[in-house]
């Protein structure tokens, strides 16, 4: 183990960290908004909406993220209709394609987590909210969502970690994020073990920080929920 190469790898790797975080945070934000819509469609009484959402989730969850990245970046670019459309300036950019693939992937998994959290709310409490005369918006904001959040937060935290690690696949379509930078360093130093060990340490630190943040938020929500119940 060449420890000098290991420690010298951190400065250039950290230079690529902002792009990794940007890709992860943006895809998580976009994916969450789409996940809410998908969960609502899955719970809809309109069969067409429910069937379309189910089909989308089934396909995304049943295929590897790597294949999805390839399909968005390489596959769609082979279609003449795409090349001649107003969307081509977006789909010809590697960053946009990686962002789309990651967002769609986390949306599919996130929608099932959100749907499960909403279904876990006791029916009696929903009926009690109606009995108190709460509007649909008030019922969701004050009764349904807080309880669903406590249920789905641990699973959604795991999904955030998975999508953070999934950003490493962006390197295969020429994006120089953390893993892409590690590949360049490994080819320059001829020390792949030391370089990728350093990259792994950075990913590990990021995931530990994210896990710690989710646990803090989970504990805070549980404490606030307990105080509310006592009140």
pLDDT score recorded for residue 223: 72
Residue 190 has pLDDT above 80, yes or no: yes
pLDDT score recorded for residue 230: 42
Looking at mean pLDDT, say which of 119-123, 188-192, 221-225 comes out highest.
188-192
- pLDDT band of residue 202 (cuts 50, 70, 90) is very high
pLDDT in tens, 119-175: 888 888 878 877 878 887 788 878 888 888 888 888 999 999 999 999 999 999 989
pLDDT above 90 coverage of the chain, percent: 66
Give me the chain's average pLDDT, please.
90
pLDDT score recorded for residue 31: 96
pLDDT score recorded for residue 225: 57
**Whole-number Å distance between alpha carbons of 59 and 108:** 9
pLDDT in tens, 53-107: 999 999 999 999 999 999 999 998 888 888 999 999 999 999 999 999 999 999 9
Tokens of 89: 């300036």
Report whether 143 contacts 228 (CB < 8 A). Answer: no
The residue among 9, 15, 1, 13 whose CA lies nearest residue 193 is 1
Residue 90 burial (C-beta neighbours within 10 Å; 0-12, 13-18, 19+): middle
pLDDT score recorded for residue 140: 80
Q: Is 191 left (phi over 0), alpha (psi -120 to 50) or beta?
A: beta
The model carries a pTM of 0.89
């Amino acid at each position: 183990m060449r420890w000098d190469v290991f420690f010298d790898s951190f400065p250039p790797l950290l230079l690529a960290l902002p792009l990794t975080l940007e890709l992860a945070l943006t895809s998580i934000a976009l994916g969450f908004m789409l996940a809410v819509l998908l969960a609502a469609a899955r719970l809809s009484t309109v069969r067409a909406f429910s069937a379309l959402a189910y089909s989308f989730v089934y396909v995304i969850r049943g295929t590897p993220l790597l294949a999805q990245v390839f399909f968005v970046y390489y596959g769609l670019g082979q279609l003449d209709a795409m090349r001649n459309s107003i969307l081509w300036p977006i789909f010809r950019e590697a960053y946009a394609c990686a962002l789309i693939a990651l967002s769609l992937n986390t949306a599919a998994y996130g929608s099932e987590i959100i749907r499960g959290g909403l279904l876990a709310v006791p029916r009696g409490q929903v009926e009690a909210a109606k009995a108190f005369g709460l509007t649909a918006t008030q019922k969701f904001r004050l009764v349904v969502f807080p309880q669903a959040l406590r249920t789905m937060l641990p699973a959604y935290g795991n999904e955030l970690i998975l999508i953070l690690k999934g950003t490493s696949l962006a390197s295969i379509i020429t994006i120089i994020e953390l893993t892409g930078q590690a590949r360049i360093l490994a080819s320059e130093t001829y020390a792949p073990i030391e370089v990728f060990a350093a990259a792994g340490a950075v990913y590990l630190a990021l995931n530990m920080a994210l896990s710690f943040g989710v646990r803090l938020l989970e504990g805070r929500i549980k404490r606030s929920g307990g105080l509310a119940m006592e009140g």
